[in-house]
Amino acid sequence: EGPYVRYELQCSDWAIILERRLITQSWPAGTPDSTVVADLLSVVPELTEGTIVTQIGDLGELDYKDARVRDVLDDVCALTGSEWNVSYDAKLNYYRAGSIVAPFGLSDQPDGVFTMPYAIEDIGSDFADAANRVTILGAVTDTGEIRAVADHAASQTQYGLLSITLVDRNLADPTTAQVWAQTEAATRSFPKPTYTVVVWEPGLTRGMTVPIEAVKYGIDRDM
């Protein structure tokens, strides 16, 4: 492609280790999410702690038996709206989505210092999982069914009421159900823009939020 050669590789990073380790453990109500992440890391000695930031001080009661470490980590992120990754030097990072800012932005009118050039391959949006009222149904206990509801008022005003019900009969804690409902309502309430671009400037890594500007298309947002 002009002066560039493009290589397409099939690779696996350190995170594959998380798929090969199992954990059986319970966490009582009142446990911060970062404590759960630290406990997961303790059963994977090949990895060390990178940036682990507490997002929620109480996930409610969690209970896992013979679960893959990666699956538990994914569940925690689903509850909190966070992200995780394993860096090239085998450090586990857990952080709020959008909190790691890239060292430069991308622009179709770059200045070469704060913004760099790129080539757009595809622009789109995804609203297939739209919902601005989320109902969570959990376990059926002696006192009744675990249930939590979360609404996103701004989305309901713009798009009308879009409801979804998610069911997990292993979910036995009301606090956990409410955290999950709130996170799902926040992430499903508006369309998710998608961009596929080619960048030649080094310095971007997984997990970064990158400002992207396309004056030609009227786009100026963080991705």
pLDDT in tens, 105-120: 999 899 999 999 998 8
C-alpha to C-alpha distance for 26 and 82, rounded to whole angstroms:
21
| Dihedral angle of Cα 21, 22, 26, 32, to the nearest 10 degrees | 30
Task: With cut-offs at 50, 70 and 90, classify the pLDDT of residue 32.
Answer: very high
Say yes or no to pLDDT of 189 above 90: yes
Mean of pLDDT values over 121-138: 88
pLDDT at 73: 95
Q: Is the pLDDT assigned to residue 2 strictly greater than 80?
A: no
Computed over every residue of the chain, the mean pLDDT equals 90
Query: Is 93's pLDDT higher than 80?
Result: yes
Percent of the chain with pLDDT over 90: 56
Give the pTM: 0.74
* pLDDT at position 3: 82
Using CA atoms, how far apart are residues 105 and 101, in angstroms rounded to an integer? 9
pLDDT in tens, 143-162: 889 999 999 999 999 999 99
For the segment 165-182, what is each residue's pLDDT rounded down to a tens digit?
999 888 888 999 999 999
